[in-house]
Structure 1
Amino acid sequence: MSNTRGKTTGFLLVLQASFMVFFGLFVDYDTGAAARNGNVTKTDGHGGHELADYYPMFQDVHVMMLIGFGFLMTFLKKHGFGSIGFNFLLTCYVIEWATLVNGWFGLIGSPSTKIHVNILTLLDADFAVATVLISFGAVLGKVSPIQLLIMATFEVVFYNLSFWVGVHVLGALDIGGSMFIHAFGAYFGLSVSRVLYKTHHTTNPKEGSEYHSDMFSMIGTLFLWLYWPSFNSAPALGNERHRAVINTTLSLAACTVVTFAVSSVTNKKNKLDMVHIQNATLAGGVAIGSSANLIIHPFGALMTGSLAGILSVLGFRYIQPTLQRVFKLHDTCGVHNLHGLPGILGAMISSVVCAVASVEVYNDSYPVVFPHNRSPGTQGGFQIAGVVTAIAIAMAGGAITGFFLKLPIWDKLLRAELYDDSSFWQVPEWGDDSSLAPSDGHEYKKVDDEEVKTSDPDSASLEEKPGLEEEDAALQQSTE
């Protein structure tokens, strides 16, 4: 395959030029960021403190997108540059695209023709970024940069459709995005992955980790764990935000404890699996999302996190291999176990919590948390309807996107290029001549400016590996 530099460069430059045109036509500052006109009071209901209220939370979410998700996906031993680099690119691209698409959907039923940007607009764009990055995990190492960008372009539209139907039409409550971010992103990515499935996706020896790559991945885990309370509580204010922070922290703590316990007990040698520690420890943050601002009580938060940890570990250990074997559903990062299953669990828990809610328990918080003037039982039913809607739109949208990505006009990765940075990145250990980077498990040498395969590394002789004799002699001398 030829490098996709030309197509990717053209796509990015054309879209960036289009973004500038669209922003010029449709986007303007909100009143809190516009020029002062003598009246400094705000009309958005936040008393003029919108930036102070939301900017710290926005920055926390930003850290999750760039460091948390970026490093979490560096576990692949030959795909570290692609994992964190393309994560960076997708984040910046989607912030711009989602600002437009989110804004256009927000104008539905509004007399305004302008998208007014404020700190909440940027926060909402970051939530769209999270959805795309979750889907990115399902196809990690299996698609080219141009395919990633096209997938993100489609997904932001389907994400907004799901959110608009689920939240604005059905009135589902999902402050932390269990349904419309995590479950949606997981099943969208899985649907794309299924459509693009090839047998060699599952048999490539580079789809694995090394000691140091797993350590880098744990950096992402810890950043996500630390900042997840901000993610779940960012849209709220006052008591509801305080309650969301408490519930999320307790759920994450319980989830982590249970993950360590279940990971070892499901191993025949009673050993911990690093994949579980990197991912399942975060499932409590996903599962508590839909009910983070509800009065679930501290014991309820602990129970939610515990159930999420058990479900996620069992997903990695038993469900994922079964889905791959029976349904040919390949999931590089295991997003189904971290985001999909816990997202469904979160929707079910929120349904129960809504069904038993009462004014006596919530007091003045009741109209804030439940703004649709429904009975508790009715709201519980709409919670289930919300997650079903999110998954249905995600799977349909992902299938459409996947078939579009299969068109011959887009560069597809060959078997030797899967899970390997050398196709798109200059890999330092190979100097300036990146064409010599290994991509299929064999060693190469250069003969008359052409790449020639010499041997399989496991059966190479000393003559085929210059320098080994000298290294052995030096080692023997140092030993003596």
Structure 2
Amino acid sequence: MPASYSTNMRFKFPILAIALEAVIIILYGFFITYDDGANSRLIHNNTGQIEQFYKIYPSFQDIHVMIFVGFGFLMTFLKNYGFSSVGFNLLIAAFGLQWGILMQGWLHHLKDGKIKVDIFSLINADFSTATALISFGAVLGKTSPIQLLIMTLLEITIFACNEHLVTTVLKVCMLEFEETKLKSFKSSLRDSLGKEGFNSAIAENPDGQYRAIINTYFSLAACVLTAYALSSLVDKKGKLDMVHIQNATLAGGVAAGTSADMMIHPYGSLLIGFTAGIISTVGFKYLTPILASKLKIHDTCGVHNLHGMPGILGGLAGIIASAMASEKVYGPGLIQTFPTGRSGIVQAGYQAAGLGASLGVALIGGTITGFILCISFWGQPPDQNCFDDDIYWELPDGETENENLLSAEHGRQNINAEA
């Protein structure tokens, strides 16, 4: 095997992983502390925060299960890459949430040199980790664990900066903030069941959470039916493609993210899901092969079709929904949904600016990250060894075990025959 494809992780991976964890421990010692609701000295004066914790915790569970279980099991469709799909998902998630709390804390919650961690910090850390896990799907089977740790470090840093720009500087209204990735969940059923909680978890007002659940629910339902129809339509024999059913059926939840808490009405959410199902299925069928053959852009899980194009659709839906916002539509709840006090048209302009900024940051950040990951030192597997657990994992010796079982059975038969 050429030196450029040295995939032995014995020293490089442990050194990097331990070094990253050591740095995080030191940074946590300097910056991270308990929120007042978890502080034993202050808890007697903050009983309301404890009540808020137990109200939000079920939403945190939904998101956490999607991050640690959902993404990994969605990627187990590769026959010889199950260990890596689930195992590397766990690796990225464990590192990502630690780094995400620091990055978002520095940008949003640093006060008197300290970052107070509460249940919302954990939820936002899971959101930031999702960006790295989505990109993991695009390079699934073609990266080493070292590359994945570096990708997680860079992407969460870029995500946190972009989120600060879009939500704090531009004050864009969006629930499920995801960078749209052009190059760059577990079963489709579990993801569909959890997506409502994913979209509603960070809505600040109760009626917004209520709408987010309803809108995501309808968008997913319409997307599933549309994806089934399109999957059959684009096949010459009218057969269904499991790739479409497993992935495109979730695009409605992605597309509903930005406008989920807005007054788009059930028919609006159905329309968003319907459109997302079409563009996602068509993307899997026609666009992915073109990107691979003409532009040499690899995308194992079709991230561009499930998150990229539906994410842009969601951004456009947010622009339209913001432009239509008025006191006649929202009543006194307008200021809660759009706390900036801007008119609908002005807010729509900022929504468009946020979408453009996210696309720009995604393209530039993704390109820089890609070039860094291409450095041969990181132990990327050669093409002939991609999509195979054996290169990085100790696997059970199935053949030896079967031979031992057959030998044992043969011995018992001989003993019985002699008896």
Equivalent in the alignment of 1:452: none
Q: Deviations over 1:334-353 (max 9, x none)?
A: 00000000000011011111
**In 2, Cα distance between equivalents of 1:5 and 1:228:** 38
TM-score (norm 2): 0.91
**In 1, Cα distance between equivalents of 2:344 and 2:50:** 34
Q: Is the 8 A contact 1:67 1:223 kept in 2?
A: no
**In 2, Cα distance between equivalents of 1:351 and 1:176:** 15
Q: Does 1:170 align with 2:165?
A: no
Query: Hey, which of these two has a bigger chunk of helix by percent?
Result: 2
Equivalent in the alignment of 1:442: none
Equivalent in the alignment of 2:32: 27
Q: Deviations over 1:399-440 (max 9, x none)?
A: 11121122233212112211110001122244789xxxxxxx
Q: Does the C-alpha gap of structure 1 residues 38 and 297 become closer, same or farther in structure 2, counting only changes over 3 Å?
A: closer
Matched AA of 2:88:
F
Match of 2:195 among 219, 222, 228: 228
Equivalent in the alignment of 2:322: 354
Q: Is the 8 A contact 1:70 1:220 kept in 2?
A: no
TM-score (norm 1): 0.80
Equivalent in the alignment of 1:201: none
Q: Is the 8 A contact 1:262 1:313 kept in 2?
A: yes
**In 2, Cα distance between equivalents of 1:137 and 1:77:** 15
**In 2, Cα distance between equivalents of 1:384 and 1:312:** 22
SS in structure 2 of the partner of residue 295 of structure 1: coil
**In 1, Cα distance between equivalents of 2:272 and 2:307:** 14
Q: CA RMSD in A?
A: 1.8
The aligned length equals: 396
Runs of 4 or more, structure 1, over 6 Å off, are: none
Equivalent in the alignment of 1:18: 23
Q: C-alpha displacement at 1:105, in angstroms?
A: 1.3
Equivalent in the alignment of 2:82: 80
Equivalent in the alignment of 1:98: 100
Equivalent in the alignment of 2:299: 331
Q: C-alpha displacement at 1:220, in angstroms?
A: 2.4
SS in structure 2 of the partner of residue 269 of structure 1: coil
More divergent stretch after superposition (420-429 vs 120-129): 420-429
Q: Is the 8 A contact 1:426 1:432 kept in 2?
A: no
Q: Is the 8 A contact 1:260 1:277 kept in 2?
A: yes
Q: C-alpha displacement at 1:327, in angstroms?
A: 1.7
Q: Is the 8 A contact 1:313 1:337 kept in 2?
A: yes
SS in structure 2 of the partner of residue 115 of structure 1: strand
Q: Is the 8 A contact 1:132 1:155 kept in 2?
A: yes
**In 2, Cα distance between equivalents of 1:359 and 1:312:** 35
**In 2, Cα distance between equivalents of 1:50 and 1:390:** 32
**In 2, Cα distance between equivalents of 1:406 and 1:255:** 36
Q: C-alpha displacement at 1:97, in angstroms?
A: 0.9
Q: Which residues of 2 match residues 78-477 of structure 1 at below 5 A?
A: 78-107=80-109, 111-177=111-177, 181=178, 183-184=179-180, 186-187=181-182, 190=183, 219-236=186-203, 237-430=205-398
Q: C-alpha displacement at 1:111, in angstroms?
A: 4.8
**In 2, Cα distance between equivalents of 1:373 and 1:151:** 38
Matched AA of 1:332:
T
Matched AA of 1:17:
A
Q: Is the 8 A contact 1:67 1:220 kept in 2?
A: no
SS in structure 2 of the partner of residue 94 of structure 1: helix
Q: Is the 8 A contact 1:68 1:222 kept in 2?
A: no
The sequence identity of aligned pairs, in percent, is: 44
